[in-house]
């Protein structure tokens, strides 16, 4: 069994009187692509920011690589957090942002980054200021950073935002390629039907700010039987299990 890369026990995060995370507990093994799923506003982005060391929790405990992540270089140097809402400088061009990422991550793969730029057909757009890019272009910049970073733990916050079918498939292909090398990815997404085909496990955040379910793809049939799921037209798959768990979360 793989070692646990993330451990959370009773993790809480409050913003004033608003309780976003309210006792989140889970263990996540290293390796593979894991989904972080839940309705809008349940705290998926907040949880990723805490795991990345960018946000301090309000209570409970969290460890990444066996260490507390907040403002801890020993953790943050091994973790990449990307997404369209990550705060890159608005005036920087896409090229500037990628150059900064190359300097930031010691295992950066520049050849892979260039292949991603070509496959996304993003070259010309990288000359524009980040603030002038579309959400899809920002998503592609984030996905290039996440995949090419070489980070041991990569957190992808809604990586599909604004992507068309072609660029979604480009993302899938490169993500699967690098995941086979042993890296760990956590992906917050609403695209359940597509994502379920590549996920090792799915962590579901409920509206109460707690983990309502943590299921693995290997046990999809057992989960479906336990939940009483049945489809007369086709076999029930991992996506059906996740969809059901989201509905009742």
pLDDT for the residue 221:
77
Domains of the chain: 31-44+73-247 (3.40.50.300)
Query: In the predicted model, is pLDDT for residue 243 greater than 90?
Result: no
C-alpha span between 249 and 222 (Å, rounded)? 19
Model confidence, pTM: 0.92
**Lowest-pLDDT range of 95-104, 203-212, 238-247:** 238-247
**Lowest-pLDDT range of 9-13, 16-20, 85-89, 177-181:** 85-89
* Cα–Cα separations (whole angstroms), residue 124 to 117, 120, 165, 180: 10, 11, 20, 30
How does residue 247 score in pLDDT terms, banded at 50, 70 and 90? confident
pLDDT for the residue 176:
95
Cα 122 vs. chain centroid, distance in angstroms? 22
pLDDT for the residue 233:
58
Query: In the predicted model, is pLDDT for residue 164 greater than 90?
Result: yes
């Amino acid at each position: 069994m793989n070692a646990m890369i993330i451990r959370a026990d009773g993790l809480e995060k409050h913003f004033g009187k608003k309780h976003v995370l309210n006792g989140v507990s889970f263990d996540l093994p290293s390796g593979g692509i894991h989904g972080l799923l839940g309705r809008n506003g349940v705290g998926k982005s907040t949880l990723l920011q805490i795991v990345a060391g960018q946000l301090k929790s309000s209570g409970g405990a969290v460890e990444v690589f066996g260490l507390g992540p907040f403002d801890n270089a020993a953790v943050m140097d091994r973790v990449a957090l990307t997404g369209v809402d990550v705060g890159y400088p608005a005036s920087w061009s896409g090229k500037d942002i990628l150059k900064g990422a190359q300097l930031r991550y010691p295992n950066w793969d520049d050849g892979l980054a260039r292949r991603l730029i070509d496959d996304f057909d993003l070259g010309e757009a990288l000359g524009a200021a980040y603030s002038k890019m579309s959400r899809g272009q920002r998503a592609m910049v984030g996905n290039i950073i996440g995949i090419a970073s070489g980070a041991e733990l990569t957190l992808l916050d809604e990586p599909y935002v604004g992507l068309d079918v072609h660029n979604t498939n480009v993302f899938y292909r490169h993500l699967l390629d690098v995941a086979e090398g042993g890296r760990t990815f956590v992906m917050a997404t609403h695209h359940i039907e597509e994502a379920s085909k590549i996920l090792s496990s799915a962590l579901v955040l409920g509206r109460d700010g707690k983990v309502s379910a943590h299921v693995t793809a290997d046990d999809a049939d057992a989960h479906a039987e336990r939940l009483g799921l049945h489809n007369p037209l086709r076999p029930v798959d991992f996506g059906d299990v996740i969809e059901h768990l989201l509905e009742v979360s």
